[in-house]
Structure 1
Amino acid sequence: MTEIPDLSGRVALVTGASRGIGYQIAKQMAAAGAHVIAVARTVGGLEDLDDEIKKAGGEATLVPLDLTDMAGIDRLGGAINDRWGKLDILVANAGALGVISPLGHVEAKVFDKVMAVNVTGTWRLIRSVDPLLRKSDAGRAIILSSGAAHSARAFWGPYAASKAAVEALARSWADETKNSALRVNSVDPGATRTAMRAQAMPGEDPDTLPKPAETAAKILPLASPALTETGKLFQVHHERFVSYRMPE
């Protein structure tokens, strides 16, 4: 899964694009020929990304947007439809960690924020762009999850629950669209040298972790028009797809 796909002429929406894995995915997709719609709260990070993309000869449209702005997400879908009439690639990367804490100590406002960004925001995004992805000849949806969704480690409750929910959304969406040209997959990026990782693991040596650009390069092939897998979890660390076991 290391071959760089040709994304020439394709339109890609990447959330959480101002830093970390999202920044690198957006940059690499633009380098592969896609017009990138870069979404994030941080304007400065988006402008840095735009500079990097333009320097390499690529194109981007910047969208400063907080994914708790549900009406804003709805407007985004409408704007994409008006300008391009379709969407080829969705990378739902934006996420909130919340706090690493016993469940009983988590403040309600923190729990609600994690769910609003990670779950409700992702669902609203799916709802907004699903018709646009179906108009593509090879729509691709890449939903960022986490190993926490499966390990459910102590003190990671809100984040783990949110990522498990996001995977469930992706699986249902994949099943709904399995007879179409749209392919939907979740991604567990594994430990990566990001600000969120540093927040979660403050004692960890960041030099022992892959950089976001390395992780992004392994995710990029999931946007390929040649991809056939859908409804699966791609584990970047192992470079493999995992099929969910469906009930009998």
Structure 2
Amino acid sequence: MTKLPFTHPIALVTGAGRGIGAATAEALAEAGAHVILVARTAGDLENVEECIYQKGGSATIAPMDITNLGSCRHLAASVAGRWPALDIIVLAAARFDPPTSVTDLSSSSLTQMLSVNAVAQQNLLSSFHSLLQKSASARVIGLTIPEDSSINAYGGGYRASKRAMESLLLCYSAENEALNTIKLALAELKPVATDTRKRIFPDEDQNLLRSPKDAAEHIIKLIKQDYKNGWQGII
């Protein structure tokens, strides 16, 4: 795999314990980055870290709750204490509760999806903004659902939370465009065969879906490009 366009890049990946996040973290490490692995479960992160080390890469695990602003601030301070800048952040963490009608959607489920899919993203951007600014050309990658997604009826809570995330990231992109030091890409992903999706859609044939590794390869390809700020479409 060709290397990333940075010297000794530092990358942070959320949702790095499983699925798309784990595959992206492994691909970033293979491409030469030291990867900060962020997820709730330490055991999952340790497994990913071991895979990275076995392939000659390097990583640091950070088990934490990204919906907690104090935890995000603490991690940012720890990163700043070890490295001069953060070059890449991939916002792969997401919450997707079982589909239900808008009228049956519980306030708890909606709140939790908004918290992970939108509020947590703002927590991370506000906490790591100064470190991203210190990179020569920082990359921020946000992952969302295709605009033509079939998740329409019975997916109102998830769709609302992802659209909120998109608005936050696109505004952040516009706010930083003039500085030209932080480049944000909002990329649409077609369905990926993850454990979470299998749990939500048990009757779906995952053999027909793209693998997390394939999705990760497209994310890495995007990071290596001199892309235009903002919406990237389907990758």
TM over 0.5: yes
Q: Return 5+ residue gaps in structure 2 as ranges.
A: none
Structure 1 distance, partners of 2:210, 2:151, is 23
- Structure 1 residues 114-150: Cα deviation after superposition (integer angstroms, max 9, x where no partner): 1111111011111111111111001000011112686
Partner SS state of residue 105, structure 1: coil
Aligned partner of 1:212: which letter? P
Which residue of structure 1 aligns with residue 185 of structure 2?
A: 185
Deviation at 1:181?
Answer: 1.9
Deviation at 1:227?
Answer: 1.6
Deviation at 1:4?
Answer: 6.0
Deviation at 1:12?
Answer: 0.2
Task: After superposing the two structures, state which structure 1 stretch, 40-49 or 197-206, moved more.
Answer: 197-206
Partner SS state of residue 103, structure 2: helix
Structure 2 distance, partners of 1:6, 1:137, is 10
Task: After superposing the two structures, state which structure 1 stretch, 164-173 or 18-27, moved more.
Answer: 164-173
Q: Return 5+ residue gaps in structure 1 as ranges.
A: 237-248
Please give the TM-score of this superposition, normalised by the length of structure 1: 0.89
Which residue of structure 2 aligns with residue 41 of structure 1?
A: 40
Deviation at 1:5?
Answer: 3.5
Structure 2 distance, partners of 1:118, 1:132, is 22
Structure 2 distance, partners of 1:222, 1:81, is 26
**Identical-pair percentage:** 32
Task: After superposing the two structures, state which structure 1 stretch, 81-90 or 144-153, moved more.
Answer: 144-153
User: After TM superposition, which residue ranges in structure 1, 4 or more long, deviate above 3 angstroms?
Assistant: 2-8, 148-152
Please give the TM-score of this superposition, normalised by the length of structure 2: 0.94
CA RMSD of the aligned region, Å? 1.8
Which residue of structure 1 aligns with residue 25 of structure 2?
A: 26
CA gap 1:203/1:196 in 2 versus in 1, 3 angstroms: same
Give the count of matched residue pairs. Answer: 234
Which residue of structure 2 aligns with residue 74 of structure 1?
A: 73
- Give the 5 Å matches for 1:57-206: 57-147=56-146, 153-179=152-178, 180-206=180-206
Structure 2 distance, partners of 1:181, 1:6, is 14
Which residue of structure 2 aligns with residue 241 of structure 1?
A: none
Which residue of structure 2 aligns with residue 208 of structure 1?
A: 208
Deviation at 1:228?
Answer: 3.3
Structure 1 distance, partners of 2:230, 2:132, is 16
| Native 8 Å contact 1:140 1:222 kept in 2 | no
Task: After superposing the two structures, state which structure 1 stretch, 21-30 or 40-49, moved more.
Answer: 40-49
